[in-house]
Amino acid sequence: MSNEAIEQQLTDIQSKLDNLVEEIEEHRRHRLEMDELKADLTVIAKDVFATTVKELEDVAPFVNTGDFLDLMKRLLRNTRTITDVVGKTESSLDFVEDAFPIGKEMFHDLMLKLDEFDRKGYFGLLQSFGSTLDQVVEKISPEELNKITDQVVIPIIELTSKLADLNLLPALSRAVDEFNNQSIDAFDNFSSWKAYKKSRKTEMRRAMGRTLHFLEAFSRETNNRVAR
């Protein structure tokens, strides 16, 4: 065998020995790392075990060993129910996630509407109404308020209802508008003769007749109340 062949074999053997040494060293490092990890986990496990024992000692008077077995049985029996609850929870979360943009848009619209109400003065009106209501509460007792409601508010509502039924509210509104539009200077030349001529008209005679009839009925009702 030539020297070159021998040298090549020696080189191959040396290369294999080097690889073998590297693998042995790698295994040694791995074993050392595992030993260190085992030591660390042992310390941690001891601490966890000690803590668990201490915590269990606190609840030991309230728990029996059979309670855990009973709990496991209950969980196993209600696995389908728990699954349904989890499914419903997931559906609820999906609904909330889908409804969130809609709720955000509705909240934005609500803020815009409230801003519109504020610019129109609704909140100021409510504040003024609240102040007026506070003054009413301070100055009027509940008995007096009930009396005012019975003797003033309800009769006014009934009178307004009757005027509406007789279709007099539009006529009153037009009369008030005409009175407001009429300048007071227009009556500077209004003489007694003009008043007499107007009183001869059918409309004025009817109006005066109804007015006198109203005053008579009002006076009679007032006298009856005083007599009581």
Model confidence pLDDT, tens digit, residues 76-87: 888 888 888 888
pLDDT of residue 63 exceeding 70 = no
pLDDT class for 166, splitting at 50, 70, 90? Answer: low
Pick the range with the lowest mean pLDDT from 11-20, 125-134, 181-190.
Answer: 181-190
Using a pLDDT cut of 70, give the percent of the chain over it: 86
Could you tell me which residues come within 8 angstroms of residue 163 by beta carbon, excluding any fewer than 6 positions away?
169, 172
CA 183 distance to own-chain centroid: 54
CB neighbours (10 Å) of residue 145? 13
Asked if 153 and 147 touch (Cβ cutoff 8 Å), the reply is: no
pLDDT of residue 48 exceeding 80 = yes
CA neighbours closer than 13 Å in the CB half-sphere of residue 40:
6
pLDDT class for 188, splitting at 50, 70, 90? Answer: low
Place of tokens 């609840």: 59
- Report the run of H or E that residue 153 belongs to, with start and end: none
